[in-house]
Amino acid sequence: MRNYNKLLNKSSITCFLIIIISFNSYSQSGNHKKSSFWENVSFGGGLGLSFGDGFFSGTIAPSAIYNFNSSYSLGIGLNGSYIKDDFYKATIVGGSIINLYNPFPELQLSAEFEELNVSRTFETASDDIDDNYWVPALFVGAGYRSGNVTFGLRYDILYDSDKSIYANAYVPFVRFYF
For residue 124, give the CATH number of its domain: 2.40.160.20
* Contact (Cβ atoms closer than 8 angstroms) between residue 114 and residue 137: yes
Instruction: Give the Å distances, CA to CA, from 108 to 37, 44, 128, 152.
Output: 22, 16, 44, 9
Number of structural domains (the chain) is: 2
Residue 91 pLDDT level (bands cut at 50, 70, 90): very high
Phi-psi region of 160 (alpha: psi -120 to 50; beta: other; left: phi over 0): beta
What does the alpha-carbon distance between residue 155 and residue 157 come to, in Å, rounded to a whole number? Answer: 6
Shared domain check, 147 and 100:
yes
Q: What is the pLDDT of residue 103?
A: 96
Shared domain check, 60 and 1:
no
Q: Taking 70 as the threshold, does the pLDDT of residue 93 lie above it?
A: yes
Quick one: which H or E segment has residue 118? strand 107-123
As a whole number, the mean pLDDT across the chain is 84
Shared domain check, 170 and 121:
yes
Shared domain check, 102 and 63:
yes
Q: What is the pLDDT of residue 115?
A: 96
Shared domain check, 51 and 17:
no
Domain enclosing residue 123, as ranges: 38-177
Shared domain check, 50 and 5:
no
pLDDT in tens, 111-148: 999 999 999 998 877 888 899 999 999 999 999 999 99
Shared domain check, 70 and 11:
no
Note the residue count of the chain.
Answer: 178
Shared domain check, 84 and 7:
no
